[in-house]
Amino acid sequence: MSDPRQRAALIKAKAHELGFLACGVARAGFLEKEAPRLEQWLRQGRQGTMGYMERNFDLRLDPTKLVPGAKSVISLAYNYFTPTLQTDPDAPKLSTYAYGRDYHKVVKKRLKPLMAFMEEQFGQVDMRAFVDSAPVLEKAWAERAGIGWRGKHTNVIRQGTGSFFFLCELITDLELEPDAPATDHCGTCRRCIDACPTDAITPYGVDGSRCISYLTIELKEAIPPEFAERMAGWTFGCDICQQVCPWNRFSTPHQEPEFVPKAELMGLSADEWHGMTEVVFDRLFEGSAVKRTKYTGLRRNLDFLRGTPGPAAE
């Protein structure tokens, strides 16, 4: 099959059949508009201690350096929204994306049959899959591929769907018809900006070094005292900017069994959270993205919430 439009249509149909929320295509090439934005963000120190953001600058901007001869970037969205809430409203809070099994593993597993389908349909295809694990500017590609626009909180929002989804990409040498880029529908709304307790959000920008997700996950040092009383109860990640976004009233529950949280986890009381031992941590978060912070990191976060800052995370 030699028609780029037909190929793209087949891939999108298969992606939806496999449970992906959305699938779009962008033409592979250098991200000219992103280059100065990324450079300025790094120069301003918005990455905090995330040194990896400073590495592989060229790779982040040019997919042909990751897949030589790449012609297309297939961007996909995978729903993780659930209306399920933790039972104790006073318990330390966990970001929704971390309720179930580590999304890196789950989404990559869901991509494999799509890649196999492409090879069955089109023969030898050079491609690589990325799930938030390599120097790929996934939000820029999602925007270019028509998946959604980057809101004022910089998360990608899809009209009629919201923003509770993971992004992933297939960079390939297959020529596919590109989609039209998404357009912005934030308007004059600034709920995410006003709701952020650490003032991390400016219109269409985030100071990563002030974001609660960064402070509770990426930061390995002690959490700065200036954020005491400003964590809003979050102990791993933060969903505030998404929770207040009007577009998320359209979010629908995911259908992924591996994202279903353990009843024991959701039922933990505040006292049980703060009294959590490493043995319990290992049992509750086996295969979870929360393992990234390790027990020492979670303990540091819990102690900070209680006003008894402990040592830095390992």
Q: pLDDT digits over 284-309, tens only?
A: 999 999 999 999 999 999 999 998 65
What whole-number distance in Å separates Cα of residue 148 and Cα of residue 205? 17
pLDDT for 62: 83
The residue behind tokens 């249509």 is 9
Let me know: does 308 contact 300? Beta carbons within 8 Å: no
Output the pLDDT for position 116: 97
172 with 111: CB under 8 angstroms? no
Per-residue pLDDT tens digits for 229-284: 999 999 999 999 999 999 999 999 999 999 999 999 999 999 999 999 999 999 99
User: What is the β-pairing status of strands 156-157 and 149-150?
Assistant: antiparallel
Pick from 290, 292, 296: nearest CA to 314: 296
- What is the rounded average pLDDT for all residues in the chain? 91
pTM for the model stands at: 0.91
8 A C-beta contact, residue 71 and residue 4: no
Residue 87 has what DSSP assignment? S
Q: How many CB atoms lie within 10 A of CB 225?
A: 9
Cα–Cα–Cα angle for 135, 131, 312, rounded to 5 degrees: 70
> Residue 97 is encoded by which pair of tokens?
């994306």
pLDDT for the residue numbered 1: 55
Residue recorded with tokens 């120097």? 135
Query: Percent of the chain beyond pLDDT 70?
Result: 89
Return the amino acid letter for 180. A
In angstroms, rounded to a whole number, what is the distance separating the alpha carbons of residues 302 and 93? 10
Contact 247, 159 (CB under 8 A): yes
Neighbours of 252 (CB within 10 A): 14
- Let me know: does 80 contact 74? Beta carbons within 8 Å: no
Angle CA 243–228–271, to nearest 5 = 75
Query: How does DSSP classify residue 128?
Result: E
Do the bridges between strand 165-172 and strand 72-79 make them parallel or antiparallel, or are there none, so unpaired?
antiparallel
Q: How far apart are the first and last CA of the chain?
A: 52
The reported pLDDT for the residue numbered 137 is: 87
Q: Is-catalytic flag, 132?
A: yes
Name which of 137, 160, 139, 134 is nearest 149 in CA terms. 139
CA–CA separation, 79 vs 106, rounded Å? 12
Distance CA 21, CA 236 (A): 25
Q: Which of 62, 88, 132, 173 is catalytic?
A: 132
In this prediction, residues 70-86 reach a mean pLDDT of 96
Helix, strand, or coil (residue 258):
helix
pLDDT digits (tens, 9 = 90+) for 93-122: 999 999 999 999 999 999 999 999 999 999
